[in-house]
Amino acid sequence: MTEPAMTSLTTLVVPGYHGSGKGHWQSWIEQRLQHCQRVQQDWEHPILAYWAQNIRCAIDEAPGPVWLIAHSFGCLATVAAASDRPQKIAGLMLVAPASPERFTPGGAMLEGESKQVENVRDLLPAARLPFPSLMIASTNDPFMPHAGAQALAIQWGSDFVTLENAGHINIASGFGPWPEGLEMFRQFQRSQNPDELALRGQNDHPSTLAMRGRGSYVARIRHITRRHFGY
C-alpha cells in the first residue's frame, strides 16, 4: 500500500457523550475528508458495550483498513472496538478522552454516586495498542485531568500532544472549525508506514489477529454490562 492509498482509506468519526453538533470540530472535519463517515450511537446513553459494538461493526463494514477520529467518551469505545480488529486499523486520533472513572458499564456515573461504583477502566486495554495512535489532551479539561490522559497515552503507547487551556476541546471551549486539528490528523496519516499496516494484516501474532467470540473486548464488556444490569 502506498502513502496516497493510506490517506484515501475510510475515516470513521466517533463523537462522545451527547454527540457532536453541526458547530463541532468533528462535524467540520467530517466535511473536509473524503471517504469519511460518522458512527451513529444512542448519544444520550453512553453504554460502552453498545458503543464499542457499533464502532466494531462500522470497522467490519468498511472495505479496507480505517482511520478513526474520536472525541471524549468516543475515545474509550473506539479503543475497545479497534483492539478487536487490529489488522484493520490504520490509526486512531483520540481527542480529549473522557475519564473512565466517569462511566459505569451502565452509562454515565450520576452526580453524587459513590466512587466505589464499578467504572469502565478495567474494561479497556491495559497494554500498548497494536496499531498507531495519537492522543491530544488539554491542560484544563474538566472531564479528564491532564495527568490522567498522559497516563493513558503511556499505557497505550500513543503519541501525545498537549493543548494549553483548551478545555474539553469542544464547542464550549471554542473548537468549532479546527484547521490545526485537521492538519495534525493529516500529519499523523503521513507519518505512518504503509508497509507496517500491510504486515499487521499478514502477521499471525495474537496481538494482531482479530479477536472474536468470547475472547474479544466487546464480548467481555457485554458480559460485564449484563451483570451490571442484572440479567
Q: Helices (DSSP H) in the chain: which residue ranges?
A: 3-7, 25-30, 48-61, 73-83, 146-156, 179-190, 194-202, 217-229
Q: Which CA distances in Å does 160 have to 59, 66, 147?
A: 24, 21, 11
**Residue of 43, 40, 36, 54 whose CA lies nearest to 16:** 43
User: Under DSSP, is residue 203 helix (H, G, I), strand (E, B) or coil?
Assistant: coil
Q: Which CA distances in Å does 170 have to 7, 38, 122?
A: 25, 17, 26
**Residue of 102, 158, 85 whose CA lies nearest to 128:** 158
Write out residues in the chain with pLDDT < 70, as ranges. Answer: 1-4, 114-116, 200-213, 231
pLDDT for residue 198:
73
User: Under DSSP, is residue 220 helix (H, G, I), strand (E, B) or coil?
Assistant: helix
pLDDT for residue 230:
83
pLDDT for residue 8:
85
Q: How far apart are CA 52 and CA 47, in angstroms?
A: 9
Structural domain containing residue 162: 3-229
CATH code for the domain of 116 = 3.40.50.1820
- How many independent structural domains does the chain possess? 1
CB of 97 within 8 A of CB of 137?
A: yes
pLDDT for residue 209:
55
pLDDT for residue 142:
98
Query: Kind and range of the H or E element at 88?
Result: none
> Amino acid identity of 220?
R
pLDDT for residue 110:
85
pLDDT for residue 114:
59
Tallying the residues shown for the chain, one arrives at 231
pLDDT for residue 191:
96
The residues facing 67 across adjacent strands are 11, 91
pLDDT for residue 120:
97
Tell me the DSSP string of 127-181.
S--SS-EEEEEETT-TTS-HHHHHHHHHHHT-EEEEETT-TTSSGGGT-SS-HHH
Q: What would the grid cell of residue 141 be? A: 479539561
pLDDT for 158-192, tens place per residue?
A: 999 999 999 999 999 999 999 999 999 999 999 99
Q: What would the grid cell of residue 62 be? A: 468498511
pLDDT for residue 139:
99
Residues 6 or more apart whose Cβ sits within 8 Å of residue 120 = 48, 76, 100, 103, 104, 105, 221
Q: What would the grid cell of residue 189 be? A: 496519516
